[in-house]
Amino acid sequence: MKMTVINRTYQRSCMRLLLGLAAGTAIILAGHGIALAADDKPTVMGPEVPTLITETPEEGFALAVKLSQKGVVFTQRDADTRGGLREQYANDPNSLIAVSHVVAVHFQTVAAANNYWRK
């Protein structure tokens, strides 16, 4: 019983966080060349990702890292600004954890696209 209450509380907290992030993301994306079309499919003005299919999990992880990097470059297009901010986030444990999370989410997507490399 106690575990169920904790799990429900945790789930509610996560849902609130995700909804807040989604709302914030929509605002941020609107200012960076991403818009929702009439059919609610996102339209991104930028380079296409050729494929999510990779031969190995290691290649998939490298692709996840690359997607994360491309997301940062797409969001902050000014290289000097990105370079200036690097010192701040490189020494902030919370920023490093956030980066790990973004890479993990991309890796999860790549793994699913590759059927988890099952033969």
Does 20 lie in the same domain as 59? no
* Predicted pLDDT of residue 16: 57
Residue identified by tokens 């050729």 is: 50
Query: CA 78 to CA 80: how far, in whole Å?
Result: 6
Does residue 65 share a domain with residue 21? Answer: no
Query: Which structure tokens are listed for 115?
Result: 């059927």
What global pTM score does this model have? 0.60
**How many Å apart are CA 66 and CA 19, to the nearest integer?**
26
The phi and psi torsions of 34 (rounded to 5 degrees) equal: -115, 130
Rg, C-alpha atoms of the chain: 17
pLDDT at 102 (0 to 100): 95
One domain, residues 111 and 90:
yes
Note whether 53 and 81 are same-domain residues: yes
Domain membership of residue 36 as a residue range: 1-40
Which residues in the chain come in under a pLDDT of 70?
A: 1-48
Residue 77: the pLDDT is 86
Please tell me whether residues 50 and 25 are part of one structural domain.
Answer: no
d(C-alpha 42, C-alpha 94), whole Å: 29
Cβ partners under 8 Å of residue 91, min gap 6: none
